[in-house]
Amino acid sequence: MSIENSRNNNTKDSIVVAGVPEHFNLPWHLAIESGQFEDHGLNVVFDEVPGGTGEMTQRLSNRDCDVSVVLAEGGVAALLNGASGWIVKTFVDSPLLWGIHVSGKSDIAQPEQIENSRYAISRHGSGSHLMSIVDASERGWKTDSMNFVEVGSLDGARKALAENSVDVFFWERFTTSPLVRSGEFRRLTDRAADWPAFVICATDEMVQTRREELRLMLEILNNSCRDLMQSPNACEIIARRYSIDLEEVKSWFQLTRWNTELGLNKEPLERIKNYLSRLGIINENPVRSEELWFNL
């Protein structure tokens, strides 16, 4: 179904999309608020999930949402470990830049000091969990006895750091910039992932029985991403909407590339799979790769 010939269709059953309440997902909100989905007969509802990728992959597996926007490594890990659903599209091609944070009152001053620390994670299988392991591995530390404390969300991490029940927290570095500026957090350094930041996953039902709607929704989303990347006011909009310093937004925007294609590049997903396998994060006998991603 093309965008052009769908405009006069009646609105279909809703498509519930789960995603974090962060600036990466602005193209979804702009498309919804401007009526782009509705104009083409789609009722898209964006459900903000502060718990992050771990919670969203669980919701997708439970069919509590139809589509989820998740970190690439978290989505691959969840599906390889038995969660249901399919990766149908890369959403953000550029890698995510993770900030490594401690409390502003912490005695930890260098990233080398976080070995054997208590790591705050939103939940097991989340990006904050996986990237903590990736970082430790890249530093040559043992990863099989790391101390993880589930805190649920960014707000949970703020509380845990303030109470000194955890020592360190990995989160997207521009999202936490206001907390770093205020002195609540101190950013020790950054850790960039070596793969695309976000992918879009869909349930079996969306892939098998609502494929035309899914494809149409993603075509509209691609247009919204393209429009945002070409907008001269994009940085100002993002800074105001997400309370991020304008200069920080400009730095982030220069690094960020949303994907505007429907074809699925499987190479980086295979790279993630191999990396997770080497770290022992996925099951010994995971499902086959061709059972993870579906090319629309």
Give the number of domains in the chain.
2
Q: Does the pLDDT at position 271 exceed 90?
A: no
**Is residue 296 included in any domain, yes or no?**
no
- Domain boundary pick from 151, 176, 192: 192
Average pLDDT over residues 105-112: 96
Q: Are residues 217 and 78 in the same domain?
A: yes
Q: Does the pLDDT at position 11 exceed 80?
A: no
pLDDT in tens, 176-233: 999 999 999 999 999 998 899 999 999 999 999 999 999 999 999 999 999 999 999 9
Q: Are residues 119 and 170 in the same domain?
A: yes
For the chain, helix, strand, coil in percent to 5 are 45, 20, 40
Q: Are residues 24 and 86 in the same domain?
A: yes
245, two tokens: 């310093």
Q: Does the pLDDT at position 3 exceed 70?
A: no
Task: State residue 286's pLDDT score.
Answer: 60
Amino acid identity for residue 164 in this structure: N
Q: Are residues 87 and 154 in the same domain?
A: no
Q: Are residues 65 and 138 in the same domain?
A: no
Task: State residue 264's pLDDT score.
Answer: 82
pLDDT in tens, 125-181: 888 999 999 999 999 999 989 999 999 999 999 999 999 999 999 999 999 999 999
Please report which confidence band the pLDDT of residue 234 belongs to, taking 50, 70 and 90 as the band edges.
Answer: very high
Range of the domain at 276: 4-95+196-291
More confident residue, 279 or 86: 86
Q: Does the pLDDT at position 52 exceed 50?
A: yes
Q: Are residues 129 and 273 in the same domain?
A: no
The alpha carbon of 105 is separated from its chain's Cα centroid by a whole number of angstroms, namely: 29
**Is residue 144 included in any domain, yes or no?**
yes
CATH code of the domain in which 157 resides:
3.40.190.10
Q: Are residues 110 and 234 in the same domain?
A: no
Percent pLDDT > 90 in the chain is 75
Task: State residue 54's pLDDT score.
Answer: 87
Start-end of H helices in 92-245: 127-138, 154-162, 177-182, 204-209, 211-230, 234-242
- pTM for this prediction: 0.86
Q: Are residues 77 and 114 in the same domain?
A: no
- Domain boundary pick from 139, 170, 192: 192
Q: Are residues 130 and 271 in the same domain?
A: no
Contact 52, 126 (CB under 8 A): yes
Q: Are residues 56 and 128 in the same domain?
A: no
Q: Are residues 203 and 89 in the same domain?
A: yes
Contact 58, 25 (CB under 8 A): no
Task: State residue 277's pLDDT score.
Answer: 85
Q: Are residues 71 and 204 in the same domain?
A: yes
**Is residue 78 included in any domain, yes or no?**
yes
Q: Does the pLDDT at position 279 exceed 90?
A: no
- Domain boundary pick from 192, 219, 235: 192
